[in-house]
Structure formats: structure tokens, C-alpha cells
Structure 1
Amino acid sequence: MGSADSTATESFVMMPSIIFTKLFINGEFVDSVSGKTFETIDPRNGEVIAKIAEGDKEDVDLAVKAARAAFDHGPWPRMPGSERAKIMMKLADLIEENLEELAALDSLDAGKLFSLGKAMDIPDIIGVIRYYAGAADKIHGSTLKMSREFQAYTLLEPMGVVGHIVPWNFPAMMFFIKVSPALAAGCTMVVKPAEQTPLSALYYAHLAKLAGVPDGVLNVVTGFGPTAGAAISSHMDVDMVSFTGSLEVGREIMKAAAASNLKPVALELGGKSPLIIFDDADLDMASDLALLGSLFNKGEICVASSRVLVQEGIYDEFVKKLAEKAKAWPVGDPFDPQVRQGPQVDKAQFDKILSYIEHGKREGATLLTGGKPIDKKKGYYIEPTIFTDVKDDMLIIKDEIFGPVTALMKFKTIEEAIKSANNTKYGLAAGIVTKSLDVANTVSRSIRAGSIWINCYFGFDKDCPFGGYKMSGFGKDFGADGLHKYLHTKSVVTPIYNSPWL
């Protein structure tokens, strides 16, 4: 198993300074009302990076009050879209100027690969901001031809104060997938980053201020889900909540939203995505996609191809090839450019993944490779793990593990593959590997999932709507859908002259 020594980090990159550790409310960095703090931990070694202000209900109240005032009386919703676009473009430019430091913060805080942060995560969020900045002055309603003696048009108006609750696996991307379209729409907002990964969100708040985002428009309250997150979800002055995270927490957010002011919610609640590999597939490409699909970002990604379904004609050869590649997969310090997999985000996630691995062994699945912590003195590193002989009723095939664990299953027919792929409460994504257009079309139309990737995986783009079916949630990110969920449609109707209504 490849590995890298985290003590050598300084030879790879200059470590970032931790500057912003307080709440960001109404354009200022402030201590929490209680004065409490919590520790954010370096998953490479379990050591404390910094103490972060711990926001609670009182802090959320202050942040929502600032966002409410900025929406009801401030310039942001009333500003021409072109002016909002200029400020958003400036924010994107500032992020680009600080790209390496921002990538390093997420590597330090979340164990994400620094090389990918520089090459993909941060450049992608810059693209997302510029994409929605370009849409800010193109938010138009429609003129309606009525069937009665009326004329009418629609107005698209910002939802109001939005609460964004952001997960820890992609701290930068998920921050701006939510914040960018909401800013473009003219909303104001309170963002609660995950307690595991608060550092980059606070830095983005600082850059937003420098870019010219008015005070109160973007507020960041660091803290914990049961306190700060719950306060946002139940707040009477929050008009909408956008959440990405677990199914269990999503249910609680829906309950809180319904019990307060019946605010709409947008939920992306994870998945258990199948990758279906047919007999005619190129084995090298298929095994590369399966490995990347399950191990990318340490398996801490909602669309991980954690269920790999392989047709029986190539199953044995595929298993051998996948095992060889998994054993050569380098795990270690995320700042090392040779490493492909860093540490899991924290000890709780590390322990959860290991418990699922033990459960798989107890249920009778065969451990093909991996299954153990990497032999390090410190840090939350786990070997890439592959199970075979997996049955539909096993927990490792049903539950979202959110770690570097892959379960392989064999199938005979297309019908069997479709049935197995749909045998899940989730419906976020699926992959299909085949040279047959007929097979690709048949299977893609039969799987109940929000994204289908044919002969590729992780086919994300800012133009392409992304979101789930079934218990993977509802509401789309990216594209026009990602913008319109932050907009109300208002119909304005007037009678036509000489109408009987006059």
C-alpha cells in the first residue's frame, strides 16, 4: 500500500496561516454571544488546528436579523443584476488570487488532496461564481397571453433570507453551489459550514466583504448542527433552507421548516450509486472508473459508485484487475502530489467506516482487499477496501458508508442489473459502462436516479442540473434550476380595456 509521511508536508507546500476564526455577522468578524469555541482538527494527525467561535441560537438570531434588514431595506435585492454581477466577478477574482491558500485550508481541515484543490475544486468554484454572475442580469419573467380578457406577466423575485447548511466533504464547492445562485437572485443569507471544516468558509466571507458584498448579505455562523443548524431551520425569519448532508438530518430540517413558517427546503441527502459494467465493456476503462468512482475524495462523496454491478462474463477478470489497482492506490498526506487518497475527515467518520467494514465481514461478504487502518502513528487513514460475494440485504450494500469501501455484485441479464440498481432507497446517480447504444439507452431510462453517466463518472458541470430522486432529496443544483430555486414567481394581472371586469 502506497503511503506518504505527513511530517514531510513542508517540502510540498507552505502551510496557510489561520487568520479567521470568528463568526461573520453583518460584515464583521465577532465572537459568539456565549464566548464559547470549539476545536477544528487536522485529520492527518488528530491535532488541533485552531479554536473556532461556536455559534448558537443567539448568534443565528443576530445573523438572521442582519440578513433580514439587508433584504428588506438594503441595496442588494434592489440593485440591478449587472451590479450584483460585477461584485460577484470581483469575488471570483479575489478567490483566484488566493487560490493556493484556499486549497491548502481545505487540505488542512478536511484531508482533501491539495493538488486537486488547486487544479479542480477552487477553479471550479470560480467558474460557478462567474456562471451565476453572468445570469444575474438575465432573470426575466414572461408575458402571458391569457384566455380571458386580461393581460399578464410574471416577475421573478428573490426568495428572501436563505439558510445554507453546508457539508464537510467539499467545503468550498458546496459553499458556492449554494451561495452563488442565491447571491445572483438577490437573496441574503446565513451560512453554517460543517463544524469539521469551518476555515475556508470564513475566508470566503472575508473575500466577499473585500469584493463589495454589502453588510448583512452574507453571514457565516460556525457551530454545530443540533444548535446553530437547528436554529436556522426553525427560524421564523428565514424564508428558505438549502441543505446537503445525511438523510436523518434532512428529515429533521423538513420537520423544523414545517413547524415554523412552512419555509421551502432544498435537500441533497446522499446516495448509494450503482456502476453497472456490461460484458462488452473495456476492462481497463471499467476498472479505472470503478476505482475512481469509489475512492475519489476518500469515498467521501455523495455519488460514490459504492455498488459495482458486473456482468458474469467478465466478472472474474474484472475483480482481479480492480484488486491489483486498489492495492497500488497511494494513500497518505494530502499535500503530497503523489498521493491519491488522504485521511478521512475526522475520527468519528474513520470509526464509522471501520465499523461498516467489520459488519460486512460478519454478514458474510468476502474481503477482497484492504479493510484496515493504514499503519500510521497518527491520522485517520483507511486502506481502499473491496468486498465481493455481497448480497442485497447486507448493510454495506444498503447504507451510505461515505468512505473508501466498494461492494461488488454479479449479474446475468440487463433486467437483473436494472432491478438490482433500483433496489435502494436512494436515487442520486448511476454509471453505465457498455459499447452498446441500445443497452445504454435502455438502462439509463430504467434507473430511477437524477444523473446517469454513460462510459464516464462524475460527469458534473455548472450547466447540468444535479439532484436526486427518492430519498436522495429534491431540488436541483447547477444550471438554470440551481438559480430558479432561489426565486419566487409572481403573476401580475390587469384587465384589458372594455373588459367586462371594468
Structure 2
Amino acid sequence: MSLSEWQRKASALKFEGRAFVNGEYRDAEGGQQFACHSPIDGRLLTQVASCDQADVELAVASARRAFDSGEWSQLAPAERKKTLQRFARLIEAHAEELALLETLDMGKPISDSLALDIPGSWECIDWTAEAIDKVYGEIAPIPANQLGLITREAAGVVAAIVPWNFPLQMACWKIAPALAMGNSVILKPSEKSPLTAIRIAALAKQAGIPDGVFNVLPGFGHSVGKALSLHPDIDVLAFTGSTGVAKVLLEASGQSNMKRVWLEAGGKSPHIVFADADLDRAAESVAAGIAFNQGEVCTAGSRLLVDASVKDQLLAKVRQALEAWQPGHPLDPQTRVGAIVDHQQMEKILEYVQIGKNEGAQLSYGGVQTLAETGGTYVMPTIFDGVSSAMRISREEIFGPVLSVLTFADEREAIAMANDSEYGLAAGLWTTHLGRAHRVAKALRAGSVWVNQYDVGDMTAPFGGFKQSGNGRDKSLHAFDKYSELKATWINLE
């Protein structure tokens, strides 16, 4: 479709902004709402329910009743699989509507929403559903007069707090394995991009997920998020977001019921280019690694570590590659970079640009707001050269299209610089030397490492971080570990 066709679809779109509790949409108990504006042009999309403690109490009670009833939690895994696969098919059938909601709400290009985010969402549910009736228990190797059974059980009530940068896809990474295991789920989307999470609640019910098993509570972190984190009847809290908030959630677990807390937190990922790399391919990857999704990616390759002998040559190629990553109207299918999610985040990014200048780094590309006349929030991809490891722009997560360039002299220094961070979510490296590729990949303290490519993956491999980038893993069979408990049962055979 063309820009004008997407705009016509957008003008006819109906928005649902209410919470979803016990199988029905409802206003927040206190009647509060917040305005949902599009970062594309600043226009008001709709009013959204602003939930708080009272809504959390209702949702948790509903989720607990549903879990205890066994209607979902005790259902045969093969039957849960069928229901979740219907859910996946419904998301697929509503792909254009959901992609449009995602783009209007968050500002990402419609081409990404339609080709990546929404397919990634239903594929996650489909893959996870297909796997659930193939997760076996174990028998312990114990004496013949005993039988030791090791079984996996649903944890109970799961609260999932998800971010605004990949709203539906990140939600599905949590809710798919949680629901597949038989848990009841309360999803708290970001107040910056809640619309797809709210919409799929109706699709979940249509698919046959029982009332109370899947609930959606929009609202703010300091209200509904805090209430969920402290609630004594929530068994598991799964979170993707900043490291600062992740630490607060860990504290809340200790203050309440020691609920299991699984965290995918911040990143400041190194993208390492050695002198023997294919510099043309590496430059394209570096540009995409910082500009994709407006740089609002936890794995963004925001630290470019490059061999000093090829730095100037590589940077010239990166600047050229970034010409294809200029901000444009998110509903134009040709656009590769859309709008920053809101004014608050745009101002944060521009503040870091100023910090970089003040620290003495050299602004060599971009670093300014653009398309201001649209009323939207757009920032040019940005490169800072001459950055040191001590600078804030090199150490702090900016969550925007800002690339810091540092140089190294040899492999040992590259590894040390890459690991010199409180984060350990991801890393990438470019080299044609097989031995170096293995050595460096093994030495990097990161949950995902890409060699001669960047930011790839699918449902077959786990995703998560080392150090202050979090714990636990999304995707793959390992995700089931977060939403289940292991039980050892000893049976005397004599």
C-alpha cells in the first residue's frame, strides 16, 4: 500500500483504550485516563484507561480464580496448544490493523511493523504453542525401591511488564510461554504504546482463552506497575525495560512475597570491527545496528570499536550507509527510520548529544531534530568520533540513534574495551580470521554475540543478558523455565 492508502486506513481506525479484566473491556476503577498521542504528528489517538491499585486487585483476583479453577492450568498441554495456535492465527489475520496501531502509537515505520513486529508476534505464539506438548519431565536415577519423578508445573499468576519499543513482540515473548505453561497472565504495556496489547485481549478471548486467564492493565509504572510488583499473590514478574527499573522490581520482590523476578534490562552493546573485516559489509551493518527502529533497541550497536588503522576508512563508509537511514513519514512504505516514541524520549536523546559535545567528543554526523514542521518527533542518526570509554555517551544507554566511535590497537584491547561496561546484553564482531572470531566471541561477556552480522535471531535461540542487562531468557525452550516450578516427587515402591 502507498502512504495515502495507509493514511486512509488510519483515519478509519477505531481505537480501544480500556483495560481488559476477567474477559471484558472495562474502564479503570477510578475512572482515570491518559491521552495517547501519535509521535508521527502529535495528534491525539485516543484516551486510555489509567489503572492503579484497585484495578490490580481485581485483575489478580480474577487471574487467581481462573488458575485455581484448573480450566486452563490443568488443561492438557495439547489442548492449550490448539487454543494458542488459534490466537496466533487471529493475530496473523489482523496483521494490517495491528501493524497500523503499532506505527501510529510508537512511530516505527509501517514496513517494519508489517514485515517484522506483527509476524514476529504471531510466530512467537505459534512456535511456543507447538513446543509445549513436547516438554517432558524426568525420572531420577535412584535405587530400584524408589521412583523419583521430576515434573514441571505452572507457577501461578504471572505479571508481565513490557516496553514501548517493540510493544506487541516483546509482550508475546512473555505471554506465550507463560500461557502455554498454564499460568494466568496480567500484561502491563508501556503507557507510551499500549494499543496493540489492549487490542489482542479480544483476540485471545475469541481464540478460546478462558476469562481471567489473560488480562491487560494499561497505566503508569508508578501506579499499576508498582502495585503489580508488590502484590503478594503474584508468583512471577517478567520485565523488559531499563536497568534502573529492573533494580526497583528486585527490591519489590524482597519487600513482598519473594516472587520470581525475570529481567531483560539495558544494553550498551559493542560492535567491533577488526582491520581484516569486509569493511563494506561491516559499514552497512553498523549503520543498521544504530539506526534500525530509530535506535530504540536494547541491543543497538551503540559502541563502535574499530581498529585504529581502518577507522577513517570505515567511518566514511558508515556515513555513506546512513544516507539510506534518514527519518521519514512512518506510514510511507519506503521509510526506514520513523519517529522517536515521544517528546520526552526525543529530548533525552538530544540532551545526550549535547553531553557528548560538552565531553569533548566530535560530532561528525547528524545529532539534530528534523521534520519538526510535522509536529512529530524525529532525530537524525548521529555519530560521535573521538570518544573515550570514560565518557557518558560511551557508558550510558541513550536508547536513540547515537553511535559512539572508539578505537583499539589490538585484539586484547578490543575485548577489554567491549567488556568495560555494566551491561552485557549483546555484542557483534567483524573479522575474516576464523580463530579470532572464536576467541573474541568466547571472551565477550554478553548474552548474544553475532559474528560478521548483527542483531539476528529467531525463536530457536534464547535471548537475554549478562551482568546488569538482566537474568533469565526469552525465546526458545529455555523461556519455559521462567514460568514454571520444578517438583521432585519420591515414591516408595516397597
TM-score band w.r.t. shorter chain? over 0.9
Aligned partner of 1:216 in structure 2 is 212
The answer (yes or no) to whether the contact 1:9–1:333 under 8 Å persists in 2 is no
Give CA deviations for 1:383-430 in whole Å, capped at 9, x if unaligned.
Answer: 110000001110000000000100111111000000000000000000
Deviation at 1:131, TM superposition (A): 0.7
Structure 2: distance between partners of 1:459 and 1:342? 21
Aligned partner of 1:270 in structure 2 is 266
Range with greater deviation from structure 2 (329-338 or 169-178) = 329-338
Unaligned regions of 5+ residues in structure 1, if any?
A: 1-5, 498-502
The answer (yes or no) to whether the contact 1:43–1:109 under 8 Å persists in 2 is yes
Deviation at 1:148, TM superposition (A): 8.1
> Does structure 1 residue 122 correspond to structure 2 residue 118?
yes
The answer (yes or no) to whether the contact 1:386–1:408 under 8 Å persists in 2 is yes
Deviation at 1:237, TM superposition (A): 0.6
SS in 2 for 1:473: coil
Deviation at 1:147, TM superposition (A): 5.1
Deviation at 1:152, TM superposition (A): 0.6
Structure 2 counterpart of 1:43, from 39, 43, 63: 39
Structure 2: distance between partners of 1:359 and 1:300? 19
Give CA deviations for 1:72-105 in whole Å, capped at 9, x if unaligned.
Answer: 1140001111111111111111111110110010
User: Map of 1:118-267 to 2, 5 A cutoff?
Assistant: 118-146=114-142, 149-267=145-263
Aligned partner of 1:309 in structure 2 is 305
Structure 1: distance between partners of 2:293 and 2:137? 40
Aligned partner of 1:451 in structure 2 is 448
Structure 1: distance between partners of 2:152 and 2:337? 44
SS in 2 for 1:258: helix
Range with greater deviation from structure 2 (297-306 or 125-134) = 125-134
Count of aligned positions: 491
Deviation at 1:13, TM superposition (A): 5.9
Q: 1:328 to 1:141 in 2, by over 3 A?
A: closer
Aligned partner of 1:399 in structure 2 is 396
Range with greater deviation from structure 2 (488-497 or 153-162) = 488-497
> Does structure 1 residue 429 correspond to structure 2 residue 426?
yes
Range with greater deviation from structure 2 (123-132 or 103-112) = 123-132
The answer (yes or no) to whether the contact 1:330–1:338 under 8 Å persists in 2 is no
Range with greater deviation from structure 2 (118-127 or 9-18) = 9-18
Deviation at 1:328, TM superposition (A): 4.2
Structure 2: distance between partners of 1:269 and 1:19? 30
Structure 1 counterpart of 2:9, from 14, 23, 28: 14
Structure 2: distance between partners of 1:425 and 1:412? 23
> Does structure 1 residue 418 correspond to structure 2 residue 415?
yes
The answer (yes or no) to whether the contact 1:12–1:337 under 8 Å persists in 2 is no
Structure 2 counterpart of 1:346, from 319, 342, 350: 342
Aligned partner of 1:496 in structure 2 is 493
Deviation at 1:225, TM superposition (A): 0.3
Q: 1:375 to 1:139 in 2, by over 3 A?
A: closer
Structure 1: distance between partners of 2:6 and 2:208? 36
> Which amino acid counterpart does residue 263 of structure 2 have in structure 1?
L
Range with greater deviation from structure 2 (324-333 or 126-135) = 324-333
The answer (yes or no) to whether the contact 1:23–1:202 under 8 Å persists in 2 is yes
Deviation at 1:140, TM superposition (A): 2.0
Structure 1: distance between partners of 2:432 and 2:298? 27
The answer (yes or no) to whether the contact 1:13–1:335 under 8 Å persists in 2 is no
The answer (yes or no) to whether the contact 2:63–2:212 under 8 Å persists in 1 is yes
SS in 2 for 1:50: strand
Aligned partner of 2:99 in structure 1 is 103
Structure 2: distance between partners of 1:461 and 1:88? 19
> Which amino acid counterpart does residue 84 of structure 1 have in structure 2?
R
Percent identity, aligned pairs only, is 43
The answer (yes or no) to whether the contact 2:15–2:46 under 8 Å persists in 1 is no
User: Map of 1:52-131 to 2, 5 A cutoff?
Assistant: 52-131=48-127
TM (norm. structure 1) is 0.96
Deviation at 1:144, TM superposition (A): 1.1
Deviation at 1:12, TM superposition (A): 5.8
The answer (yes or no) to whether the contact 2:326–2:381 under 8 Å persists in 1 is no
Q: 1:478 to 1:364 in 2, by over 3 A?
A: same
Computed over aligned residues only, the root mean square deviation of the Cα atoms, in angstroms, reads: 1.3
Structure 2: distance between partners of 1:217 and 1:293? 37
Structure 2: distance between partners of 1:247 and 1:329? 28
Aligned partner of 2:327 in structure 1 is 331
Deviation at 1:191, TM superposition (A): 0.6
TM (norm. structure 2) is 0.97
> Which amino acid counterpart does residue 437 of structure 2 have in structure 1?
A
Give CA deviations for 1:33-86 in whole Å, capped at 9, x if unaligned.
Answer: 111100111001122110011100100110000000000114000111111111
Structure 2: distance between partners of 1:103 and 1:159? 32
Structure 1: distance between partners of 2:151 and 2:331? 48
Deviation at 1:150, TM superposition (A): 2.4
> Does structure 1 residue 482 correspond to structure 2 residue 479?
yes
Structure 2: distance between partners of 1:352 and 1:127? 33
Structure 1: distance between partners of 2:308 and 2:480? 44
Deviation at 1:483, TM superposition (A): 1.5
Range with greater deviation from structure 2 (292-301 or 374-383) = 374-383
Give CA deviations for 1:204-242 in whole Å, capped at 9, x if unaligned.
Answer: 101001100000000000100010000111001100100
> Which amino acid counterpart does residue 101 of structure 2 have in structure 1?
L
SS in 1 for 2:369: coil
> Which amino acid counterpart does residue 428 of structure 2 have in structure 1?
G
SS in 2 for 1:493: strand
Structure 2: distance between partners of 1:246 and 1:13? 36
Structure 1 counterpart of 2:352, from 334, 356, 363: 356
Structure 1: distance between partners of 2:172 and 2:474? 11
Structure 1 counterpart of 2:279, from 274, 277, 283: 283
The answer (yes or no) to whether the contact 1:462–1:479 under 8 Å persists in 2 is yes
The answer (yes or no) to whether the contact 1:18–1:50 under 8 Å persists in 2 is no
Deviation at 1:316, TM superposition (A): 1.0
SS in 1 for 2:372: coil
Aligned partner of 1:465 in structure 2 is 462
